[in-house]
Amino acid sequence: MRYMKWIGFAAGVLLIASCFTPWVFIGSRNLTISGIDATGTNFGKPGYFHFLCAFFFLLFNFIPKIWAKRSNLLVAALNIAWAIRNFFVIAACQGGECPEKKTGLYLVVAASLIMLIATFFPSIRMSVDQDKK
């Protein structure tokens, strides 16, 4: 899997970009919720944790050490868990009203999943020390 580092990089950039796009639309209050702007709700700013995860993912993705690849798996797992949490909590029906899911929410989950898959195929070369045989 030669290109998984670059596919993971593209997914990290897509994750950052999709936090700025609309996630859900609440019709009764005329609110559009994104990862950065959740004004009028109690959701906070869920995109900031995605930014943190994307930063560490991209950093560890280009460090050619085994500890970085293992740490990257943890970061990607936390990121996909946060994306699934956002998918179910932010788009949940409350008070008899179901928000309309927008493209950004699906892009966050897809980018997080691609990032997780990219961590399963790291491009690292293991050197065998001939003296330790």
Paired with 25 in beta bridges are 32, 100
Structure confidence at residue 23 (pLDDT): 92
108 or 26, which is more confident: 108
Q: DSSP secondary-structure letter at 110?
A: H
CB 33 within 8 A of CB 90: yes
Q: Is the pLDDT of residue 133 over 70?
A: no
Structure confidence at residue 132 (pLDDT): 55
Q: Which of 41-45, 52-56, 124-128 has the lowest mean pLDDT?
A: 124-128
CB 22 within 8 A of CB 102: yes
d(CA 108, CA 30): 22
pTM of the predicted protein model: 0.86
Q: Is the pLDDT of residue 112 over 90?
A: yes
Q: Is the pLDDT of residue 82 over 60?
A: yes
